[in-house]
């Protein structure tokens, strides 16, 4: 078991989809504040390993990786157990992994439904369920990365929007169910990173044009909010903070 004496009160963080993009920035930020980090990945093995090596060069033995298919029945328990084995407990579960794809009414398949609902809603629920005993012991936090499109649907992405809307309600429901031992909050990013599969340039301009700040944000904006909720917000639960440049107002 690795030692973890940190400025973030010795906290242990499990982050799904933590190898790349926003997830990797959250992992770096939490680790930089002193946390021990378990980085989950499904297919980005190299990126996960390189990130763990980077973090362990800064503080040896404070970052580990764990592969898992979040749609499998075994994954939630395996991930929580991996964090406990590596660092002795679990303080923060960050449900960051997401699946994003366009779907058109009349053409939606069951495979698309199962992937988008499964990754964005089903997996966070069962991960939370698996983590409850460990989190309750340490009066921990569940942090769900939602999306502003869970509140305001994105045209052409109805199933994704429905899944994120469900995750928003799951966040509030779990806060009610799991208090007072466990806090549950969410972050709803706006235009921070564009989808890797590409997005129409006109749609990008339209999205940014609807923000009050007239610009897109960065992964660091999301990571700093996650750090605040994990380390400096002991009386906040059941809330979803929009990090969207004012698009949701």
What 3-state class would DSSP assign to 233?
Answer: coil
**Spatial separation of the C-alpha atoms in residues 135 and 126, rounded to whole Å:** 14
Say if CB 99 and CB 119 are below 8 A apart: yes
Query: Phi and psi (nearest 5°) for 66?
Result: -150, 125
- Annotated active-site residue 160? The verdict is yes
Helix (H, G, I), strand (E, B), or coil: what is residue 36?
Answer: strand
State the angle between helix axes of 45-58 and 21-32 in degrees (0 to 180), rounded to the nearest 10. 20
Q: Angle at the Cα of 26 (from 71 to 17), degrees rounded to 5?
A: 20
Instruction: Name the DSSP class of 153.
Output: P
| Residue from 41, 157, 160, 235 carrying the catalytic annotation | 160
CA distances from 249 to 31, 210, 211, 212, 217 (A): 32, 10, 9, 8, 16
User: What is the set of active-site residues?
Assistant: 160
């Amino acid at each position: 078991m690795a030692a973890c004496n940190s400025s973030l009160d010795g906290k242990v963080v499990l982050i799904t989809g933590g190898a790349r993009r926003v997830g990797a920035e959250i992992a770096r930020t939490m680790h930089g504040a002193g946390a021990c980090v378990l980085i989950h990945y499904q297919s980005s093995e190299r990126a996960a390993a390189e990130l763990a090596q980077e973090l362990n060069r800064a503080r040896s033995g404070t970052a580990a990786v764990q592969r898992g298919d979040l749609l499998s029945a075994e994954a939630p328990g395996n991930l929580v157990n991996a964090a406990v084995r590596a660092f002795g407990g679990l303080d923060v579960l960050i449900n960051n992994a997401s699946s994003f794809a366009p779907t058109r009414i009349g053409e939606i398949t069951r495979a698309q439904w199962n992937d988008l609902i499964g990754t964005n809603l089903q997996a966070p629920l069962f991960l939370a369920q698996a983590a409850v005993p460990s989190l309750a012991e340490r009066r921990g936090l569940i942090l769900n990365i939602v999306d502003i499109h869970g509140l305001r649907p994105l045209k052409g992405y109805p199933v994704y929007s429905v899944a994120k809307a469900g995750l928003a309600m799951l966040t509030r429901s779990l806060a009610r169910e799991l208090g007072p031992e466990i806090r549950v909050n969410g972050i709803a990013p706006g235009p921070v990173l564009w989808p890797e599969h590409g997005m129409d340039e006109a749609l990008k301009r339209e999205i940014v044009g609807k923000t009050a700040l007239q610009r897109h944000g960065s992964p660091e904006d999301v990571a700093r909010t996650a750090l605040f909720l994990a380390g400096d917000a002991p009386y906040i639960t059941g809330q979803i903070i929009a990090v969207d440049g004012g698009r949701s107002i």
